[in-house]
Structure 1
Amino acid sequence: MVAPGTVLYEGLENILRARTGALIVIGDTDKVMKVVDGGYHINADLNPASLYELAKMDGAIILSSDAKKILLANTHLTPDSIIPTRETGSRHRTAERVAIQTGELVIAISQRRNLITLFKGNERHVLRDVGTILAKANQALQTLEKYKSVLDQALVNLSALEFEDLVTLTEVCTVVQRTAMVSRIAKEIEQYVYELGNEGRLVNMQLEELMFDTEAEGLLVLKDYLLNYDNLEKVQEELSSWTYEELLDLLAVCKIIGYSPQSLDVAVTPRGYRILKKIPKLPLPVIENLVRRFEDLQNIVGASIEELDEVEGIGEVRAKSIKDGLRRLREQVLLDRHI
């Protein structure tokens, strides 16, 4: 609604450049109208020029909830004065109180400081210059690319060790840790994309390319190694709430996936979800049946075509396809590890 490229943003930019200041409320709910006193009824479509001209008057401007119409101009806002506010200027103090009292989005443009500040409920956000946001987004993308490269190598190493049956908690926790870090950086970039609006298309394209299949693969790692499979969603939520400092503690990561070892050198065996998902045209229900029947990846890799054929949803043709697929995957990951 207030991202670059929208009609409202263009109007706000015009006001900012003219250094006239403004107070704009988006929404005409009963709560909003109770704090509105006087003003002129406009009821016209929103366009940048009209918003700029109306902002020259001292009072507040009221827009429709979809920010497509200018409803009132030069109004006096009378929020409850006992509502606490952190702001100092009268315009911003009124904006924050109206936002808290009504729950609607209120925009305050500072004439002196040349800033656009958004208030909604108890939240406050200052709109930054597009160039500044783009610079931060590009810097974050470079960081994401480096972290993603390290994660990809850790996944290749994990795959090779899974085929060799040499996985320890160190490799598992490292992948879980790196996946959480990459996801955290991606979330930050998403915030920049929202702020950039139409200007963020290229940033979003790069983000989608870098993050393709990353979260899905991270989920499969958890499915492979979580001691208690029922805790999957809880573990994901907790990891997403951790700070970067907490994520750096591999023992803490180890504990959250269900293990309590004195050392991270303890050997573990994957169930096989992630490797099996890499086999083309192998549906998830069939993968579930394979894991249920053989319990772990080593048993699946060691199973004969006849044993695979006995699993529900697998015929002789698919059994051969699974054996060939696992063989090719093993050769590929062992090769990739040494590149």
Structure 2
Amino acid sequence: MSTKAISQRLIVLTVLALLVLPLAMASVSVPAEPSADEEEGWWIETTVDRDGNGIGDMVERYHDHPLFLDEDGTLPLIIDFDHTPTSADVAMLEREIGYEHEWDLPLIDAVAGRIPHDMVLEATTLPGVVMLELDGILEVQNGDAAVVHEVDLAQQATGYDGSGVTVAVIDTGIDGLHVGLDDMDDDNTTDDPKVIGFYDPVNNPDKVNGTEVFPYDDQGHGSHCAGTVAGTGAPTYEHPGMAPGAFLVGVKVLDAGGSGSFAVVMAGMQWTVDYRYEYNIRAASMSLGGPGAIEWTSSEEDSVNRMSNEMVRAGITMLIAAGNSAVSAQIGTPGSSEDAITVG
């Protein structure tokens, strides 16, 4: 082939390439940039609210139940925001829907309180409000503690006994005078308390520094759990706790009847995170869960579950009861939280 023919062929191929290439490029799909108007958040697709109307399914199911509706016609709610709510947001709720403020829950961008029953729909239209959840009820669990876990063998193999760390027992309280919980060495002549902090949002919510209320338990379950966690075993030493060298912090979130609202429980959880460095809280025990229908309808995105996950992200290992009833064949809140270690 002559040089002239080769040059002509190259010119033809070049022209064809210039014609075809733009068409080929036009046919290549380009990933669409996400729209700035597209909302993101746990509340967009959640089993808390299966119909997506911003009102938790539990609210719709129990909005007129006498267990939750008081004589003034108000309903206890967890109000979730798309940001950490401020005092201005609380004032807006009070002004627009007659909200009665009870608790700040910044760890999950929420507040808790009561609103008139007939203002539920109105609440969903307020700026920043993304979900209304029922402030449900939690009760004591772990009535019969398992004793055969070979913890003694683990202690012998590792030498670990909990020394140097603090465990928060989020429950009915801790009896600070119990012989197995009152001090570290069971020697009354020394000043070495085992329970080094105590917060009581049930009866003393404003006393928050951890030293203003002497540790007490008006139900007994929390002391039982505290003994299981870190009791010295005194006076017989037959049944010491799993980590007898650990300190304890008591967080009383359940009343003398052994139950409490989601909001009060989460207030105790929030306090535990806020004071984790002051008391070196490395783990928290929560032997509680929802009764009956509350457990049956629990969601992974329930407010207490989200709070539990945030506690883990803050560096606190969460040890939560799976439940005792086995009625619903599932684990309810907060044991169903994704990041907790659930035991049962």
TM-score normalised to structure 2 length: 0.24
Name which structure has the greater RCO, CA cutoff 8 Å, separation 6+. Answer: 2
TM-score (norm 1): 0.24
Structure with the largest fraction of strand = 2
